[in-house]
């Protein structure tokens, strides 16, 4: 990523990810490769020559990318103010069906603008303004050959090395903790799974033994990362109080695990922050007491802000109930 016009921010940053987990970091200020996982650190210690040559390649790529970025800004007629140019490149391998895929695309201020097509060995412009860039880059045969070699060979070589060193981390399977949540008695019931790995998972509701799919009284949430490298997701079910809730089940399926994780829809185990409305004729002094308690709690938090590890899940679920997401 290249940025301009942002004080105290590196002009150039590159982060490496495997399974959406940050592996290493490089930027134009430190000019070093910083490992972010223990297995990457071990890899770097055991193959110093490979990582030294990689560092030189990153420094060279930084210079080339900065020149390309200036060209893009001029062609897009946006040379002033703050702008961010991203180059997202990598490869994917599905160990179940053996399919492989590689990609290389550029983004400008969060929008895709041009991408490299490995099959035709040409650039594809996403915007009219980048058609000129496409023509210029299509003529750079040496650069195209380098990208073709990286996307066809080098990327998969790196993938195999990372999988070899990080097998215990990248090939693990962690089942989630599943909870049933509901904001109010009339709100949809949310089946929330957190702490699972990898991120290849699906979750849905089942009624009378038959799967319910999108559009059938259920809403899907996207898979989101947790701070510890695991993932979370949820699926909401719209069910009326008059229905027989025992007919419903929440089903979680994780890639690499044969058995489904099934949670019965039981009103007794649903977690909620909702409370019965109090009598509105209560004196105003009661509200003053509540405010005082909140202020004391806030002051206490400022003094003691270390969270215990075993309360992480409860805090996460409580926040989800409060926001209704």
CA of 150: how far to CAs of 147, 163, 197, in Å? 5, 18, 28
Q: What is the pLDDT of residue 108?
A: 85
Domain ranges for the chain: 2-170, 177-323
Q: Which of 136-150, 172-186, 283-297 has the lowest mean pLDDT?
A: 283-297
CATH of domain 177-323: 2.60.40.10
Q: What is the pLDDT of residue 262?
A: 96
What is the DSSP track for 125-138?
A: ESSGGGHHHHHHHH
What is the DSSP track for 187-207?
A: SPEEEEEEEEBSS-EEEEEEE
More confident residue, 135 or 219: 135
Q: What is the pLDDT of residue 138?
A: 94
Q: What is the pLDDT of residue 26?
A: 93
The edge-to-edge listing of strands for the beta sheet with 111-117 is 2-4, 83-93, 100-108, 111-117, 122-125
Q: What is the pLDDT of residue 282?
A: 45
Which one, of 257, 250, 193, lies nearest residue 226 by Cα?
193
- pLDDT, average across residues 230-250: 92
**239 touches 187 (CB < 8 A):** no
Give the number of other CB atoms < 10 A from CB of residue 72: 20
* Whole-prediction pTM: 0.65
**236 touches 219 (CB < 8 A):** yes
* Share of residues in the chain with pLDDT > 70 (%): 78
Q: What is the pLDDT of residue 286?
A: 41
Confidence of residue 252 (pLDDT cuts 50, 70, 90): very high
Q: What is the pLDDT of residue 298?
A: 34
In CATH terms, the fold of domain 2-170 is: 3.30.500
More confident residue, 323 or 109: 109
Q: Which helix (H) or strand (E) holds 253?
A: strand 248-254
Q: What is the pLDDT of residue 68?
A: 75
The DSSP bridge partners found for residue 232 are 194, 224
More confident residue, 128 or 317: 128
The whole-angstrom separation of Cα 39 and Cα 172 is 14
Q: What is the pLDDT of residue 295?
A: 36
The whole-angstrom separation of Cα 206 and Cα 203 is 10
Reduce the DSSP state of residue 103 to 3 states and report it: strand
The whole-angstrom separation of Cα 109 and Cα 84 is 5
Q: What is the pLDDT of residue 269?
A: 92
**Cα-to-chain-centroid distance, residue 191:** 20
**172 touches 166 (CB < 8 A):** no
Q: What is the pLDDT of residue 299?
A: 32
Highest mean pLDDT among 6-10, 125-129, 283-287: 125-129
- pLDDT, average across residues 200-215: 85
**82 touches 5 (CB < 8 A):** yes
Residue the block writes with tokens 């495997």? 18
The whole-angstrom separation of Cα 127 and Cα 60 is 28
Q: What is the pLDDT of residue 283?
A: 44
Give the number of other CB atoms < 10 A from CB of residue 249: 19
For residue range 53-107, list pLDDT tens digits in order. 999 988 988 888 877 777 777 777 765 667 788 889 999 887 666 778 999 999 8
Q: What is the pLDDT of residue 3?
A: 55
The whole-angstrom separation of Cα 23 and Cα 33 is 10
Helical spans, DSSP H, in 90-193? 131-138, 141-149, 155-165, 167-170
Reply yes or no on whether the pLDDT at 302 is more than 50.
no
Helix 38-46 to helix 48-75 angle (10° resolution) is 110
- Alpha-carbon Rg for the chain, nearest whole angstrom, is 26
For residue range 15-44, list pLDDT tens digits in order. 998 888 889 999 988 999 999 999 999 999
**What is the average pLDDT value for the chain, to the nearest integer?**
81
């Amino acid at each position: 990523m290249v940025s301009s016009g942002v004080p105290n921010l590196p002009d150039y940053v590159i982060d490496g990810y495997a399974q959406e987990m940050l592996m290493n970091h490089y930027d134009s200020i430190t000019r070093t490769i910083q490992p972010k996982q223990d297995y990457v650190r071990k890899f770097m210690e055991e193959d110093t020559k490979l990582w030294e040559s990689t560092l030189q390649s990153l420094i060279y790529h930084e210079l080339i990318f900065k020149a390309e970025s200036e060209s893009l800004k001029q062609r897009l007629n946006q040379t002033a103010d703050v702008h961010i140019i991203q180059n997202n490149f990598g490869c994917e391998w599905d160990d179940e069906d053996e399919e492989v895929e590689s990609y290389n695309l550029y983004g400008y201020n969060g929008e895709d603008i041009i991408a490299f097509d490995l099959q035709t060995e040409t650039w594809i412009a996403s915007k009219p303004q980048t058609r000129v860039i496409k023509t210029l880059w299509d003529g750079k045969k040496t650069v195209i050959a380098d990208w073709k070699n990286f996307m066809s060979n080098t990327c998969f070589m790196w993938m195999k090395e990372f999988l070899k060193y990080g097998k215990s981390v990248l090939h693990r399977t962690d089942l989630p903790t599943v909870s049933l949540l509901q904001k109010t008695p009339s709100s949809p019931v949310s089946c929330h799974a957190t702490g699972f790995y990898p991120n290849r998972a699906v979750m849905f509701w089942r009624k009378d033994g038959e799967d319910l799919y999108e559009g059938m009284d259920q809403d899907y949430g996207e898979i989101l990362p947790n701070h510890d490298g695991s993932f979370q997701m949820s699926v909401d079910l719209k069910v009326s109080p008059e229905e027989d809730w025992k007919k419903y089940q929440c089903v979680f399926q994780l890639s690499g695990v044969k058995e489904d994780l099934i949670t019965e829809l039981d009103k007794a185990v649903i977690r909620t922050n909702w409370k019965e409305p109090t009598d509105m004729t209560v004196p105003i002094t009661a509200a003053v007491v509540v405010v005082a308690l909140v202020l004391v709690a806030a002051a206490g938090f400022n003094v003691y802000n270390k969270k215990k590890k075993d309360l992480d899940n409860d805090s996460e679920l409580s926040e989800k109930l409060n926001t209704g997401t």
